[in-house]
Amino acid sequence: MRERENKYTVRTHLAKVCFFAVLGTALLSGAVAANSYAQAEPKETPVIQLNEISVTASRTEKEIVNEPASVTIVSRTDLDASPFERVEDVLRSVVGVDVNSHYGFQTGGIKGRVHLRGATSGITQRTLYLIDGVPQNDNANNSIGWIAYSQIPKDAIERIEIVRGPASALYGSEGLGGVINIITKKPVEKRETSVTLKYGSGETSSQEIFHSQKINRFGIMVNGQKEESDGFYMQDPVTADANKKWRDANRIYSKLTFDLDERSDLAFSFLRYEHEMSKGRPYFYGEKEDFRYWLNYTRRGETTNWRGLLYASDDEKDAYIDESSGALKYKAINRIENFQPFTWGAELQSSFVLSSFGEMTLGLAYKSVHFETEYTYLTTIREYRAEGDQEFTSPFVDYEIPLFGEKLILNVGFRYDYANSTNGKERDTGATKGYGPYDNTYPDKTWEEFSPKGGIVYRPDKKTALRASVGKGFRVPTLFELYKTHTRSGKVTIANPDLEPEKILSYDVGAERLFLDTLWGRVGFYQSFAEDLIAAEDHPTNANWNTRENLEEVEIQGMELEFKWLPVENWTIFSNYTYNKTEIVEDPQTPANEGNVVSGYPEHKAKAGFSYNNPHLFDANLIFNYVGKRFQDTENTIELDAYNTVDVSIGKTVPSPAKGIERLRLSLDIENLFDREYLFSVDDNGPDSTAPGIVFMGTMKLWF
């Protein structure tokens, strides 16, 4: 662990002032110089297109306006306009999405950060996360959200597809709230080579290189990034034993493509991601290293398409836990927790047109997961180990049929999942906290889940779509939840090998309409019923113990409202509003919680803003965010106030600033422009968790 300074130096302050002064001057001078040229350009009438394509909602390429599910596409244009670099921060502006923490926490998880449609509770992640269709939820430690959303560089992303609502009919376990799928770019014949340098608040700096090119039938894309940040104090008040939540991260991502013929291609991707992050105290931090590989095969025929996928993920995480009591409290490392999940899987699917009877997709998926963890104790003689395996074998079917000249589109589908957990073991030689010593071998578990779905879209004209859908979802308990006893802040959560899958049934109705080609609106209503949700409940014999149980039944209801308007050329104005209430219907362990809302999820959220994109002048974006009141605890006794923030970005691209450079882009991103103070959590026995306030990031990007 590297040493960190707690105070900025005068030299550092001066460097920041100079950097932003130069950046602002360059943006202003570029805008003024290009003004007369831009005014002479002919004006074009802006038009909103309804033909965006999604591959996530039905596993085949379809226009999202014809999908019964609620789908949002974050396009390449949207990504360029966003003031954020990380995927989870880009998603803050999407309707129905809740990002419940700030990246400044720099922890890499204990909580899953991104949730869809209120399908969340405690620390459990119930959103399925895909990259090119490859599941990133590994069924090993998914319950504590160790998903690094910033793994894929923004430059390499073609689009992000968000499908809201249960996804088990197509993807099996995990997606109770929905699916987020990152689709990466394909190399093209026009070479793109760039270097990106960033510097900003928290002494954050980043250096990144990107290259993409296609030569004949071969294509290559390579990205490398190194990032360092002294981070932020994310607490109030700042205690004597606190330090900034710093971060070091680096990444290598590559993609190789080969065109087998005019209709078939292969794409091999490799990702190595590594980070080291502070959790707010000198001897409390974590390390993570991922090696991920996937191979995609695609064949496009006149009436039949094929898709194959083979993937493997070899991950490792170390958590350094400080001594929490006695003379060494927060002054020494007590133990090192090592986690090693390994996941591999394969999928094969075929989609074929049945003449005038629509299109059918048949597929088969397999996934295997191994998880093991071992603790190394530094202040006592003790051994702890846990491990287990899971397998999934899953055939699936999706069928779509257009009727009445494609004015009415019907969609049905289902998936059968045969899942089993085996080789569950847990051993502890210590007697600390009263739950050891023991050496347990757990019985094998088998589950069979049938997940159907159905939907309908009615298109009275080319600018209108009315839709309705119903579907079931499930989530198998992870190996972590089944076999791993977990300790944090003196609280012990005991493993439970008898857990059963979580289940959800959801209904969705909605409509969208394009007015005058420049104004688009969409409204949706949904209701979901979830049962057997896994939650940690107080142990009846010890106040410091929790047990994982299938306890909670919740009812979720909500509304999503979106608007987009192109008033004149270069301008886009947008707004969206999300209402979501996740209410506990039944909690046998604690009946007093019945009628309460699930902690951490606001009932009201809203976004609004504009985007100005003029290639001859500059780009500017402003986003207003509102997050309503929410409760910190299941008992609904600790209420966190509502807050609002404003995020701004401005950028300018200029051609050929120097020999050998094709073009240069300078940009400045500002998060929380008005330096709003707001809480993520309160603690009666310690400092509250707070946002870092205003955050600046300056970027210089060079294309060669």
| Residue-wise pLDDT tens digits, 102-136 | 766 655 444 556 788 888 755 567 889 899 999 88
CA atoms within 13 A on the CB side of 578: 25
State the average pLDDT over residues 264-279: 93
Q: Give the pLDDT of residue 306.
A: 96
Let me know: does 241 contact 235? Beta carbons within 8 Å: no
One-letter amino acid of 661: I
Cα 178 to Cα 116: distance, rounded to the nearest angstrom? 6
Percent of the residues in the chain that have a pLDDT greater than 70, as a whole number: 88
Q: Give the pLDDT of residue 111.
A: 53
Cα 137 to Cα 656: distance, rounded to the nearest angstrom? 44
Among 61-65, 285-289, 655-659, which stretch is predicted with the lowest mean pLDDT? 655-659
Q: Euclidean distance between the first and final Cα of the chain, in Å?
A: 37
**At residue 175, does pLDDT exceed 90?**
no
One-letter amino acid of 566: L
538 band by pLDDT with thresholds 50, 70 and 90: confident
Q: Give the pLDDT of residue 7.
A: 37
**At residue 143, does pLDDT exceed 70?**
no
- Sorted by where each begins, the domain ranges of the chain are 10-703
Burial 622-645 (b: 16+ CB within 10 A, else e): bbebebbebbbebebeeebeebeb
548 band by pLDDT with thresholds 50, 70 and 90: confident
Q: Give the pLDDT of residue 44.
A: 57
Let me know: does 272 contact 254? Beta carbons within 8 Å: no
**Segment holding 322, helix H or strand E:** strand 304-322
Q: Give the pLDDT of residue 5.
A: 43
**At residue 38, does pLDDT exceed 70?**
no
Locate 348 and state its tokens.
């094969």
The CATH class given to the 10-703 domain equals mainly beta
pLDDT tens by residue, 299-319: 999 899 999 999 999 989 899
Q: Give the pLDDT of residue 659.
A: 81
Please give the distance of CA 35 from its chain centroid, rounded to a whole number: 39
Sign of CA dihedral 277, 673, 689, 679: negative
11 band by pLDDT with thresholds 50, 70 and 90: very low
Cα 360 to Cα 401: distance, rounded to the nearest angstrom? 9
Q: Give the pLDDT of residue 682.
A: 86
The pTM for the full model equals 0.89
* Burial of 17 per CB tally in 10 Å (0-12, 13-18, 19+): exposed
One-letter amino acid of 624: F
21 band by pLDDT with thresholds 50, 70 and 90: very low
How many distinct helices (H) and strands (E) make up the chain? 5, 39
**At residue 452, does pLDDT exceed 70?**
yes
With a CB cutoff of 8 Å and minimum separation 6, the contacts of 428 are 382, 383, 384, 435, 436, 437, 438, 439, 485
397 band by pLDDT with thresholds 50, 70 and 90: very high
